[in-house]
Amino acid sequence: MLKNYLSNPPHFFKDYKSNINRAPRKNFFKITKAINKGSGLKVLSKNFDMNNNLLLFKKNKSPIGQKIIIKGKVINRRGNPLKGIIIEIWQANAAGKYRDINDTHDAAIDPNFLGYGATKTNSNGDYKFKTILPGAYPWRNHKNAWRPKHIHFSIINENIFNRLCTQMYFPNDFLLNYDPIFNSIAKKYRNSLIAKFENKNNVIPNYLVFTFDIVL
């Protein structure tokens, strides 16, 4: 996960075409007034469906695809765990298709997979999701453009002044070399957006296990 402001991508990145018209053109200004605890976005847990198992969209029916577990820890920059952080994820199915009427990718919708989940970190800052490995899909950014396999993350809490949205990628995906969104990140920070495969620790039968820690 991105750990400092230097690792953030530039506001304008010409290779990411949809960024051209919506990127801010004016310099940001620094907020000098102290932000008090609890002054961030007002979030009520009851407004979220806290289902961290995306495999249970339909009872007794499993989605198509490789089952995976994503787990990690949310900490601050001093390394302290953050409790009560709400994490939302959304993703394409195993064929690279979102459950969205605006998704025009010529791939099948999995009737047993919604592609959305949410959870809250515990007292140790830990979170976990069960889901399936998403597929790659084409997009119109450039000729023969394909988005690598990824999962969207949204992090929110009353003590966070703004919602943080990012994407988690998977190791050894050759499409990362061609993706302008991933490559808008400074090269030395890109690995922080790639989940780590648990080859020896936390092995669970029938699941590929990945870790993705988040630093706020």
Within a domain: 177: yes
Within a domain: 75: yes
Within a domain: 47: yes
Within a domain: 29: no
Report the pLDDT value the prediction gives residue 168, as an integer from 0 to 100. 98
Report the pLDDT value the prediction gives residue 161, as an integer from 0 to 100. 64
Catalytic residue among 5, 16, 105, 137: 137
Report the pLDDT value the prediction gives residue 148, as an integer from 0 to 100. 98
Report the pLDDT value the prediction gives residue 91, as an integer from 0 to 100. 97
Q: What is the pLDDT of residues 50-64, one digit of tens each?
A: 899 999 988 889 999
152 belongs to the catalytic site: yes
The separation between the first and the last C-alpha atoms of the chain, rounded to the nearest angstrom, is 9
Q: CATH number for the domain including 203?
A: 2.60.130.10
137 belongs to the catalytic site: yes
Strand arrangement, sheet containing 116-120 = 116-120, 86-90, 150-156, 164-169
Within a domain: 14: no
The mean pLDDT of the chain is 85
Query: How many domains would you assign to the chain?
Result: 1
> Which parts of the chain sit beneath pLDDT 70?
1-20, 22-23, 28-49, 158-161, 202
Alpha carbon distance 87, 152 (integer Å):
10
pTM for the complete prediction?
A: 0.85
Alpha carbon distance 128, 123 (integer Å):
13
What residue numbers bound the domain in which 207 lies? 39-215
Catalytic residue among 98, 99, 169, 190: 98
Report the pLDDT value the prediction gives residue 85, as an integer from 0 to 100. 93
Rg (CA), the chain: 18
Report the pLDDT value the prediction gives residue 2, as an integer from 0 to 100. 47
Q: What is the pLDDT of residues 87-126, one digit of tens each?
A: 999 999 999 999 999 999 999 999 999 999 999 999 999 9
Alpha carbon distance 175, 13 (integer Å):
18
Within a domain: 21: no
Alpha carbon distance 104, 84 (integer Å):
36
Catalytic residue among 11, 78, 142, 150: 150
Within a domain: 200: yes
Bridging pattern class, strands 214-215 and 67-75: parallel
Sequence-ordered list of residues with C-beta below 8 angstroms from that of 115, at least 6 positions apart, any chain: 54, 90, 91, 92, 93, 98, 99
Within a domain: 32: no
150 belongs to the catalytic site: yes
Burial 34-50 (b: 16+ CB within 10 A, else e): eeeeeebeebeeeeeee
HEC letters along 89-153 = EECCCCCCCCCCCCCCCCCCCCCCCCCEEEEECCCCCEEEEEEECCCCEECCCCCCCEECCEEEE
Catalytic residue among 11, 99, 105, 152: 152
